[in-house]
Each structure stands twice: as C-alpha cells, then as structure tokens.
Structure 1
Amino acid sequence: MTFRTNLTAFCFILLTTVAQADIVTPKHNAVASAHPLATKAGLEILQAGGNAFDAAVTVASVLGVVEPYSAGIGGGGFWMLHQAKNNKTLMIDAREKAPAAATRDMFLNKKGAVDRDLAINTALSAGIPGQAAAMAHLAEHYGTLPLGKTLAAAIHYADTGFPANKVYLQLAKVRHSVLQRYPASKRLFLLDGAEMDIGTLIRQPGLADTLQALAKDGFAGFYKGDVAKRLVKGVQAYGGIWTEQDLADYTVVERDPIRFNYQGATIWSAPPPSSGGVALQQMFGMMSQFKYSDMNEADKTHLLIEVMRRAYRDRAEYLGDSDFVKIPLNRITSEEYLQDLSDSISMAHATPSSSLGLPKQVGSGTHTTHFSIIDKQGNQVAATLSINLPFGNGVTIEGTGVLLNNEMDDFSAKPGSPNAYGLIGSEANAIEPGKRPLSSMTPTFMEFGPKDNRQLAVIGTPGGSRIITMVFLGLLEALDQKGIQSWVDRPRFHHQFAPDVVQYEDDAFDPKLKAALEKRGHTLKSVGREYGDMHTVRWYQKNGEVEAASDKRRLGYAEISP
C-alpha cells in the first residue's frame, strides 16, 4: 500500500512537472485598467521588482483616487488571484458587510415599501468597507513590497490632484444633487459649485492622509485608531449605524473559486457572495446540451438569451452569502439539473419569464471598476471593485476623504422587490448583521485553446446587473479564438429574468436579427447607450507572448512592459 501510494504521488509530480515544462512563462508584464494613471503606476511597480499582487494594490488604490465615482477604500470587491509558484487559485472576498445594528426592515417606510432615497443616498446605506483590508491582506500574504511603496502613487494623486476627464464630469453631473447634500463631497468633488472642465484638478488631501495611515499601520491604520474614530463619528452624524467594533471586526475571506469545464476550457470565477461564477457555470452548462457552434446567428442569440434568463432566475431564488445561507450549489450546477433547464428551452419560441415561476419568497453596482494583471512569473489578478452607484451614497467623511459605498442596497431590502438595478432577491439575500450582500461582480480566469496553443485569459468588467452577461459574451469571443480587442469590443445584450426584456446596445442586433428575435417572442429594448468597461489580458502559454486590451467605450488603458 505504501509503495503504491508513493508511486502514485511520484507519477502525479512527474506529470505536473512535464505539464509545467510545456508552459513558457509570460515574456512581459501586463496591466489593463480603467484609467491610464492606474495602469502606468501598476507597471512601474512591476518594473521595480514587485509582483502582480503588489501591482494590484497599486492599481486599485490609484483607481480609488482618480475614479472616486467607481471604487475606493470606502467600498469593497472581489480579487481573483493565481499564485504561480504553487499553482494556487483563490478569491479574496473583500465585499462590504452589514453593520451589527443592521435590521431586515431598515429601509422600509411606514407603509412597508422600500424608501429608495434612504437605501442609496444616505450614510445608512453604507456597508462596512473591505477595500483597505484587502490591500493589507495582499501586502502581508502575497506581495513582496511594503504598502508604503505600493500606495505611494495613490497618495501622490490624492495629495497633488488628478485632472478631471469627461467620465468624471458626466458622473458628477448625474449625482450632483446628492453630492451637494454633504459638505465634504460638495467641496471635494463639485469644487463648491465652481465651474469644472476637462483638466480641472481634483485634490483629496484627507484621503492622502488616510492612505498614509494605511501604508504605515496596515489594517489597524484604517479599521482602528484615529481614522476609525473619525469614520464612525462622521457616519453616525449623517444617520448611519457604524460602530468602531464593526470596523475592528471586519475580515476578508479567502474562498475557493467556482471552477468548471466547457468544451476543453477550464474556467475559474467568483463564488458566492458573488453570483457571477454560478451563473457562468449554469449558462455554459446549458449551452453544452446544444450544438451551439453549428447554429446560425439568430439561433445562437436566442439560445444565449434563454440561458441568461434561467441563470438570473436561479440567482434571484438561491444565491446569497454562503456564510449565512445554505446554497444548493451542487444541485443547481449538476449535469442533471442543467439538462432539465436546457430541456425547457424551445428554439422556436422565447420562454416567458413568468412561466418559469418567480422565486419562492416573492409574493448589483452601475459604478464599479475592473483591472487585469499578469506578471512575468505567471501570477495573475482579476479584480472587480465597487462602491455601487456613481460616487456611492454621496457621503464623504470629513477629515478622511473616504467616500462611502451604498452596497446595502444590494441586499433584498424587501424580498421580492427590485433594487437599483432591477434585480429581484429572495430571503437568501435579506439583510442580516455581519452578512455580505449578493453581487454580480465576476472577475474570471479561463484556460482555453487547442493543446498546441493553450492560452490564459484574465477578464472582468463593471456594469451592475449586466456584468455577468458581459463576461459571458467576452469569454465566448475568446473561445472562438477572436482577437483580444474583440473580446471587449463585442456589442452587448442582456436578459436578467425580470423584467422580461432583452436589453441591448444599439449596434448589437441588425434589422434582420431583430426581426428574427421578435418573431420568436422576445421583447427588445435598446439601452440607448454603450455600457461596460472591460479590461483583459491574454497569455499564450506555448511561447510566452502576452496581449492586453481595454474597452474603447470608456477611457481605459492597457499596456505591456517592454
């Protein structure tokens, strides 16, 4: 028995060594993010000897400064990591948590309806942020450089300022009425009403001081001591319910990713409390029951809409924080279950969502950011970070520069009622103290391609409820061996079960395809604009070549090192 066990172990090590010998490590470092300043800062850290995890801290922190409308240390997110030296893939869950004083009905008015303003535009809507904890965790366990080095660029841009761009000006206008409610936000982000143009300098000296404290003292620099006291005092002054104990008790969680195979590809994606990985596994699992590659364009599009519909239906029914609710993960991702779902799909007619049944208990962020990184050792990071709506809930805590999230709206404030994105939730995602709200953030890795040309994709995007379907469509482009820019440029469409409409970008469907879909019973609704901001990296494992691409819809920037 001992001999046989040792022989088996030896064979496994031998096969693993051979497999790894066939992989050529990346010839270049690569970073793709939503802002040129963040991408360049990340590459500088890599060129200075840091690894992908160090660069991730730098990129995330700079984005939190130059994209205050998207994600900062007042928010949270999911960080997919692959550590090359031990072939380890995991997700760091830095999702916000409900404060200890949170209650199930905290956003309901006297009539029992959800008070939307209370749920998205006040300090009460802020969960305990996880971003700073994630940075400290990465530095302590995965990086090679101190936070003083990796946060330096963010501290610089917070202190000296960054030039406003068109996206900043657009979103500041969208949230103007909320930002001007709160003095620090009005002063910092609206310049007290002064006229702003492209190039206007936005300075955040209080945020620079908070980042300095994080750099000096790590976790304790944000979640304990002076910064924590100021945060709690400010939150409570605006009607929030944070306590110093809430901050001190915050922890990130390392979770095993959702992992599955599809036609020779292996996909790793975010597990609960993200719904992204489960939805991707379900959609690809349903597709595997059909001869998708042999279909015409109308059939392919119809099938994709139908698998989206069913995955989002199950999202509403079953998913939440797995530390609080029992999720029937094995059942809803089993081959038998997915076969049953696919059997309910008619290729001739759209399935009315109402015929699939509403979640038992019935009667995610528009602003988020993403970045992708690969270093020359083969370490990988896909991180999707958020404060939920643009500029979060609009509250900036005086003296800290911390702009608060409104992620409490991602809970089911009233099970069965839609949130800001129209997503329905059930009891699985009801508010509870210490619980993390369900998310659509879907940072993902995919190994794919023929045996003689295996490739690795690092991919993700912001976009609220549409994140999952954007990543899904991007992965399909990769599986078709399309160029990396086409992954992010592909015109997008989306179905989320309720409302029962196909949302689409104007160039997603030509007149012939529209007519074919409408003939099958689909209701089509243009969103009237482009959406999403995808950033991705591809590594060819045979020769070590690396590519990176950023979405042309926004201002992102992708670059590989010389």
Structure 2
Amino acid sequence: MNHRAQLLAGMILLTTTTMDAGLAQAASGPGKAAIASPHRLATDAGLEVLANGGNAFDAAIAVGAALSVIEPSSSGIGGGGFFLLHRARDGKDVFIDARETAPAESRGELWADAEGKIDRDKAMNGPLSAGIPGEPAAFTWMAGHYGKLPLKASLAPAIRLAREGFPVYARFQSSIERRKEVLARWPGATALYLVDGAAPALGTVWKNPDLATTLERIASKGDEGFYEGEFAARMVEAVRAAGGIWKREDLAAYKIREREPISLDYRGWRIVTAPPPSSGGIALGEMFNILSGYDLTRLDRVHTVHLTIEAMRRAYRDRAEYLGDPDFVKMPVAELLSPLYAAGLRASIHPSKATPSDMLPGYMAPKESDHTSHYSIIDADGNMASVTKTVNLTLGSGFVVPGTGFVLNNEMDDFALLPGQANAYGLVGGDANAPKPGHRPLSSMTPSFVIGKERTGVIGTPGGSRIITMVFEGILAFIDGDLPEKVVANPRYHHQYLPDVVSTEPKAFTREEVKALQAMGHIVNDGERTWGLMNMVSWDRTTNTLHAGADPREEMSSGKVQQ
C-alpha cells in the first residue's frame, strides 16, 4: 500500500475526547503567578504588569514587547508569532495566529537568479525577504479582547527599557557580530546596531529611543499607529526604495486570525497545541498517537527511545507534505490525527530494528532557523499563555527602516519560493506553501499546554525544525513527573526523517545506549552542540504550587514565581 493510500485508509472523523472532570482547570487560580522567558528583564516586565493589575495576557504583551527590545536577534515587532491562550473564567482555549503574510506582489520568480534558481541572498537578506509583520497586531488584539489593562500600561516596561537601555550581553553581541556584513548594507541597520562597524561592547548600555517612540505610537493608536497612516507610508517607501515589494494596502489588510487549537488525549492527559499554519500540533498528534499503542512501562530505555525515534521519523515525513495556510489550503487534519492512521504507521515499526528513511516515501525535511523566542505564563487566576515568536534568521532580514528601531523579518524564505527547489534550509515544497498574496508560511513553532488530573504545564521552545521533538520530549518528561526546572534542562535527542540521523546533545545517551541503538540500525551523532531555549511553567493543583523552569543553556534566561 503506498503512502497516500495508507493515509486514506486511516480516514475517520476526528472526535473530541470528553475528558474526565478532574482534567479541567480548577475553579480558582493558584493565587500567585509564574513566568519563564529567555531574559530576566522580560520576565520582570511581565511580573511588573501582573503586579499592576494585569492578567496573563497583559503580561504576554509585556514580555513580548520587552523581548523586542532586548532580544532582536530572535523576535520583535518586525516579525510575528503564535499566542496560545487559556482563559480561566470560561475555560476558553484560543490560538492567536500572528504569522507574517506575503505581500500582494509576491511571485516566485522575484527570488530567482538568472538561471531560474533561488537567489539565497534575495530570499534571506534585505526587504524583499520580509513578510508583513503580525506581532504589533497581536499586541493590540490581545489587549482589546483578553487583557485587563490598556495597551499603554502593558507596553510601558518595554518603552522604559528602550529609552533607558540595558547592558549588552553575550548573545545580543554575538548575533550582531555574526550578521554585521549584512547589517552594514543598510543605513538604518548600521545606525541602530553597529559601532564603528562592529557589535557594541559587552556590558555597555544599549539604548533604542526609536523603538521606544514606535512602541509609544502603537500604545496610543493601536493598529492604526503601525499599519496605517504616516508610519506605514514611511515603512513602505523605505522598503520599496531598497528593492522590496510592500504596499500600503498590504499593511492595511493585515488581520489577526483566531484559530481553534488542536486538542490531543494521551494516557489521560489533555494536550492543547498549535494548529496550522504550524506543523507542530499535527506532528505531535501523530507521535503521541503512535506511542499510545505501546506499554512503555514494560520497556527498557533503549527500546523506548527506539520507538520514540521511529515515531519522530514518521511524523516528520508527514509534517509538511499536506499542510499550508488553513485560510487557503484544504488539509486532511482529521485523517492525520486519526488513531487508525497511527495504527497503520505503528504497524510499519519493527520493535528492535530501525526503519531506514529511504524505505519511506520521499520527502525532503526542512531545516528551519533556530532564532526564535518562547515564554510561558500562568497568572494568579489560572489564565495561561504559551507564546512562540520569531523574525526567522538571526536579526531577520538585517533591514531596518531608518528611525523605526526594529529589524524586519525574513519569513518569505519559509515559503516554497520556487516549486521543487530547496530554500536555504533544505525545504522543498509545492503549491500548498507557495508565496501567494496574503498567505502565511508554515512554521514549526509549537506553543502548548499539557493538562492532567493534578498538574498543568505551559511549554514551548525555539529551535527551528527541532522545536517539535523538544516539545514532545518535554511533555513526555512532565507526564512522567519531572518539574519544569528539570524538563527544560534534560538532554535532548532528535530525528526528522532526513537526514537519517539521530542527533543528540551531550550526555543524552550513555555509551552503552549509543551502542545498543547503533546495533538496531540507528545512525547516532552522539554529543552534538546543545540546541533550543525552552521555557516552562507549571501548576500543581493538589498542593497549589507553581514552578518556573528557564533553560540553563542561556545564562540570561529567567523563570520566576511571584512572591
């Protein structure tokens, strides 16, 4: 049976699982709050807004805006993201899609060279690589629909940080140094980020008054302050003068999309996660469905890891084959999440031998940018926010409209710009992920909630194509009893179908475990560099205890419980 036939054979309607009443959130919240983010100043910004009467959604604005100031390498108001929210008072879960969109003049040949191949420089650097940003619209939407405070109050900590400055830290400096040749092409980027042609010195106070002014404009005028009027006209003029294709109509047409999250049931736990245009929730669903057919408690660690790798291999084979922008592409989501489809995949797994990826139908797996931000929040009332956002590559396109204070994304490279040709990270795609006007590119960002009878977790991470397996392993560890502080620190391993290699962080496996996996036929790259920057918070409802785990792989990460 070929792969498509196997998929069709598994078709059933996806039904909503009725969860035990004990899995629902408690009627009252924990009474305190917890935030974990990539930088202590962003965590502090969120806690400040909570202390001033805000809720988790106001805090999500505050943390995100602060990261726009202090972590521009990974995210900012020139980019977009996904905001998974849980509202405690009525139990509503909602997925705010603030992904960037393709400008109306988008057509694949714009990114082609004279030979008809992708021009990587055009796809990765400069304003032609930039989609229409979604993060400013997400802030105004959340403030208007879910927050308790005016947008001005939630943006205040970030505005203060931008005006007063902060000490330059290692990751901030290294990201600028890595991209300084591209930044030097554009006067706006040179003026903002470079000092005598290089990154600012460690420990020096870095200020961004232009970004403070931009955030103040958004605070006072909302979407109109960014997507319309004089500011929008200034951005369009600068983008087009430098070779981009934005139009004022593109900015004015940008809209937030509220989507229904994917809800999964795994061994009595409910997992709420990201729907398309994220491929993460579909892949998580396939992996959990595959593993649900095994009694892992009866297996040793090597065989458990083997089955987990095989689940990863099959989910990554499917993850971008069928998916695109849900506003334009019809996708077999119910079929991919069907237990019958998972049973078919499970039947192809040998209990003690690896399946070579070239024995599965061909698809070239994507490798995406690692440079993304994630933060997790639970407030005193039990509201939750899991947020992952990005500008794609380090410092996005490297292009700054003079006087605005932020770098534009380079998310156009996440589209399949030319059918059948790989982008900079190996993604080969077709029409479902083409750069059509108004379309949103696929993403691996996977903000998630995991809810059990006694404990609730809020989890997510950056890490490009490894995001999904990191969240998967993190949820499994949390279900097994690990607290967030341990979940985020655990060594990680990853398989994404192609290349047919098990990547591992240092100390993920013992020498004996590596040999055992190799004997099963797995190719193991033991002890690669570390990856990801996971941030997780949890609430134990039996003891009313909060925990916040910030990834120790980054020295500036911060997880705090409100005192």
TM-score by length of 1: 0.93
CA distance in 1, matches of 2:388, 2:483: 23
SS in 1 for 2:350: coil
Aligned residue identity for 1:232: V
Alignment of 1:4-23 (within 5 A): 23=27
Say if 2:208 is the partner of 1:204.
yes
CA distance in 1, matches of 2:374, 2:99: 14
Contact 2:365 2:497 in 1 (8 A): no
Residue of structure 2 in register with 1:230 after alignment? 234
Measured against aligned partners, the alpha-carbon deviations of 1:12-58 in whole angstroms (never above 9, x if no partner) come to xxx99998796552131111101110100100110111111111110
2:518 corresponds to: 518
Q: Which runs of 5+ in 1 are unaligned?
A: 1-14
The size of the alignment, in residue pairs, is 543
Corresponding residue of 2:139: 135
**Alpha-carbon displacement from aligned partner over 1:430-478 (angstroms, at most 9, x marks no partner):** 2211100000000000102xxxx61110000011111111100100110
Change (3 A) 1:406 1:22: closer
The answer as to 2:535 corresponding to 1:535 is: yes
SS for the counterpart of 1:193 is: coil
Report the equivalent of 2:477.
477
1:199-233, CA deviations, whole angstroms, 9 ceiling, x for partnerless residues?
12222221111111100100100101121111111
CA distance in 1, matches of 2:26, 2:528: 47
1:320-335 alignment runs, 5 A limit: 320-335=324-339
Q: Which moved more, 1:538-547 or 1:366-375?
A: 538-547
Deviations 1:213-257 (A, max 9, x none): 100100100101121111111111211100111000000000000
Partner AA of 1:534 in structure 2: M
Deviation of 1:526 (Å): 5.1
Question: 3-state SS of the aligned residue for 1:151?
Answer: helix
1:157 equivalent to 2:158? Answer no
| 2:280 paired with 1:276 | yes
User: Is contact 1:188-1:202 (8 Å) kept?
Assistant: no
Question: Residues 4-83 of structure 1 correspond to what in structure 2 (within 5 A)?
Answer: 23-83=27-87
Instruction: State the distance in 2 between where 1:20 and 1:492 align.
Output: 30
Shift of 1:111: 2.0
Contact 1:382/1:444 (CA < 8 Å) preserved in 2? Answer: yes
After TM superposition, the structure 1 = structure 2 runs for residues 312-323 of structure 1, keeping only pairs within 5 Å, are: 312-323=316-327
Residue in structure 2 matched with residue 558 of structure 1 by the alignment? 559
What are the residue-to-residue correspondences of 1:293-372 with 2, within 5 Å? 293-359=297-363, 364-372=368-376
**Alpha-carbon distance in 2 for matches of 1:23, 1:83:** 12
- Please report how far the alpha carbon of residue 316 of structure 1 lies from its aligned counterpart in structure 2 after TM superposition: 2.5
Stretches of structure 2 that go unaligned for 5 or more consecutive residues are 1-18
Find the residue that maps to 1:503 and give its secondary structure: strand
The Cα offsets for residues 362-414 of structure 1, whole Å up to 9 and x where unpaired, read as 9x332100010111111000000100011001001101112100111111123
Change (3 A) 1:43 1:504: same
CA distance in 1, matches of 2:365, 2:44: 47
Confirm or deny: 8 A CA contact 1:257 1:270 kept in the other structure.
yes
Q: Secondary structure at the match of 2:49?
A: helix
- The AA in structure 2 aligned to 1:559 is K
Tell me the distance in 1 between the aligned counterparts of 2:101 and 2:116.
Answer: 24
Contact 1:350 1:520 (C-alpha < 8 Å) held by counterparts: yes
Identity %: 47
Secondary structure of residue in 1 paired with 2:471: helix
Cα 1:361–1:492 change in 2 (3 A) is closer
Q: What is the distance in 1 between the residues matched to 2:199 and 2:444? A: 36
Distance 2:23 2:164 in 1: 49
CA 1:262–1:21: 2 relative to 1, 3 Å: closer
Q: Read off the aligned partner of 1:463 and give its amino acid letter.
A: G
Q: How does 1:361-510 map to 2 (within 5 A)?
A: 364-448=368-452, 454-510=454-510
Asked if the contact 2:118/2:423 (under 8 Å) is kept, the reply is no
Q: What is the DSSP-based 3-state SS (H/G/I as helix, E as strand, rest coil) of the residue aligned with 2:391?
A: strand
What is the CA distance between 1:141 and its match in structure 2? 0.6
**Partners in 2 of 1:388 and 1:195 — Cα distance?**
20
Query: CA 1:422 to 1:510, structure 2 compared with 1: closer, same or farther past 3 Å?
Result: farther
Matched, 1:171 2:175: yes
**What amino acid maps onto 1:561 in structure 2?**
Q
Change (3 A) 1:125 1:339: same
Q: Does 1:103 align with 2:107?
A: yes
SS of the counterpart of 1:113?
Answer: coil
- The CA deviation string for residues 100-139 of structure 1, in whole angstroms up to 9 with x for no partner, is 1101333222323221111111211101000000000001
Given residue 457 of structure 1, which amino acid in structure 2 is its aligned partner? G
Q: What's the secondary structure of 1:39's corresponding residue? A: helix
Runs of 4+ in 1 over 6 A off after TM superposition: 15-21
CA contact (8 A) 1:24 1:543 kept: no
Once residues 231 and 335 of structure 1 are traced to their aligned partners in structure 2, the CA distance between those partners, rounded to angstroms, is 48
Stretch of structure 1 that moved more, 285-294 or 352-361? 352-361
The alignment partner of 2:320 has SS state of helix
Query: Which amino acid is 1:336 matched to?
Result: L
Pick closer, same or farther for the CA change 1:492–1:420 going to 2, 3 Å: farther
Change (3 A) 1:300 1:228: same
Distance in structure 1 (CA, Å) of the matches to 2:420 and 2:289: 27
Is the 1:163–1:201 Cα contact (8 Å) retained in structure 2?
A: yes
Matching residue of 1:12? none
Shift of 1:422: 3.4
Q: Letter of the aligned partner of 2:552 in structure 1?
A: K
- TM (norm. structure 2) is 0.93
